[in-house]
Amino acid sequence: MPNNILTDNPENLKPLINTIKDLTRVISEETILLKTNRPKELEKFLPLKNQLMASYQKEMTDLNNRGGLLGGGNGPALRQLKQESRIFQSVLTRHTRLVKALKTISENMIKTISDEVVKRQNQTSQYDAGGSKATNKNPTSITLNQTI
């Protein structure tokens, strides 16, 4: 019977568990900043989040190279990994929903402002160089078409 590396040595999962906990904490803090209308403060988390994501990728690659979860053993470290992963997924799902909602609100606000600008441009009286009333045949507005 092959040795179960993960349940025989729970220290193998400790770096991955710690990385997941740290990512959960950072994303939770970002969610709080978004909910309290402080998006500018998100920048301070970017270097740490990038570092944690790189660490997560490395740990997942190392885990895969060691044979994966080896049939889903039931050691305490594996149970903790599963628990932390569920918590992380929950936090990540809430964060994603909030970001999508804020994005939708922002896009709708920009569209509303744009529509109002077009509406007002059509109502203003403009005169050309000859003194006759000019009409704006092609009203335009400013819109942002950028995916974040």
**Three-class HEC string of 93-123:** HHHHHHHHHHHHHHHHHHHHHHHHHHHHHHH
Please check whether residue 134 lies inside any domain of the structure: no
Residue 33 domain flag:
yes
User: In terms of residue numbers, what domain contains 28?
Assistant: 5-123
Question: pLDDT under 50 in the chain at which residues?
Answer: 1-3, 5-7, 71-72
**Domain contains 135:** no
Q: Is residue 130 part of a domain?
A: no
Contacts of residue 36, defined as CB under 8 A and 6 or more positions apart, other chains included, come to none
Which pLDDT belongs to residue 9? 63
Establish if 11 belongs to a structural domain: yes
Residue 31 included in any domain: yes
Residue-wise pLDDT for 19-35, tens only, equals 999 999 999 999 999 99
Residue 143 lies in a domain: no
Number of domains in the chain: 1
User: Is 39 part of any domain?
Assistant: yes
The answer to whether the predicted template modeling score (pTM) of the entire model surpasses 0.75 is no
